[in-house]
Amino acid sequence: MSIIAFVGLGIMGRSMARNLMRAGHALFLHTRTRARAEDLLGEGAEWRDSPAAAVAGAGIAITMVGLPAEVEEVYYGPSGLLDAAAPGTFLIDMSTSPPDLAERIHRDAAGRGLRALDAPVSGGDVGARDATLAVMVGGERADFEAMEPVLAGVGRTIVHVGPAGSGQHCKMVNQIVIGGTMLGVAEALTYGRRAGLDAATVLRVIGGGAAGSFALNHLGPRMAAGDFAPGFMVEHFVKDMTIAAEESRRFALDLPGLALAHAQYRRLLELGNGRDGTQALFRLYNP
């Protein structure tokens, strides 16, 4: 059993924290809104008033927050982890943020005798709930190997993809795939609706063929039902694709599929649907 400081209890973070507790770990929790932690506190976790307070006495800190500015605050702020963690502590950022920020955290952590990994995840609310997330890890291999059993509490596919920042680059690859796939699912279901087909029947048959994917099989039914509750919010997906677009420009890449998905999701954000799930893209085609 490990003592883990867990910072950030959003849609995915709450389930991840619960699964770590079920795996036998003790958790010190901090999030901006304490009410989000109440159910976990009732299940045995302990509350802490800041990231610095959470990491005191913990050998591992896991962060799962929404925006790069929040990652900066959690690690570098006046109550941040870097200045508070004891030497030898593992710092695992499972948020999605720019690769260069992950590299900076790793470098600054190493200078303090800390062991940092960037470990963003994919799988949405379903994967977080079922502990079946894909975890893509950047950092030192020895640190990855030490933390792999802990990460097994939240994920099924846990892979070391390279040095610091590589986890975030792999997450950009993931988000580029998802952006294009979501366009295809939304447009295809719109076509099927206009053709008079039953959406459930269409999803059952094509979901078992070459078109099958997480987006089609899990989010397609939500689109068809008009269920836009978030498993992963539009505003966070726009943030991720913004990072992917910026990195692509840095690599001098022209990725028109990414550009189109990014533009469509920005339209959705501008229409006020930023807190909806990514399947709300269907709204653009079916106002």
**Active site (catalytic) residues:** 171
* Burial class of residue 49 in the structure, from the number of CB atoms within 10 Å of its CB (0-12 exposed, 13-18 middle, 19+ buried): exposed
Closest CA to 17 of 60, 53, 57: 60
C-alpha 89/C-alpha 271 separation (Å) is 43
3-state secondary structure of 150: helix
C-alpha 133/C-alpha 112 separation (Å) is 30
Amino acid at 206: I
Query: What's the half-sphere exposure (Cβ side, CA atoms, 13 Å) at 27?
Result: 31
Closest CA to 258 of 173, 191, 190, 189: 173
**Total length of the chain:** 287
Give the H/E segment covering residue 11: helix 11-22
Crossing angle of helices 68-76/99-111, nearest 10°?
10
CA dihedral 103, 107, 113, 116 (to 10 degrees): 0
